[in-house]
Amino acid sequence: MSLRTGHTGLNVTDLDRSLAFYRDVLGFALLAEGKEDDRRYAFLGEAGGEGPVLTLWQQARDPYDGGRAGLHHLAFTAASVDRVRAYEAALRAAGVEFAHDGVVAHREGSASGGIFFHDPDGTRLEISVPHGAEGAPAPHAAAPTCGFF
């Protein structure tokens, strides 16, 4: 397949709040920002990287609604399960609520797994690893953990 994800754009209700979350808690670098009152946005990625990974657009009036068609969740991959646990600690310190308690497997017996939580607007997020979650509990025996939270 010749296509791959370039970046993900999220509508947010409060750019300052979302920017603080993605920059200060998850560690994204602010690459560019639009500050006009009716055109506020932020491009986030890795400092010195090839471009934005995530774009935030202040144009939503209501929080995320998981019952509507569109984005189900946004998943990030970490380098190791220890790094996932470091993100978990930072998120807990910031008062973020989790969908499951700690690192969980993607399904029973899976080596892949991670943490599942919500951003300030309620958008479902995942930070996971393809290997390293062996032995972690699976909240649902048959269904993928990332599918229902």
d(CA 52, CA 50): 7
How many CB atoms are closer than 10 A to CB 136? 19
- What's the one-letter identity of residue 19? L
Positions annotated as catalytic residues are: 126
Question: Left (φ > 0), alpha (ψ -120 to 50) or beta: where does 101 sit?
Answer: beta
34 φ, ψ (degrees, to nearest 5): -105, 125
Which helix H or strand E contains 56, and what residues bound it?
strand 52-58
H helices of the chain, where? 15-20, 81-93
- What's the one-letter identity of residue 37? D
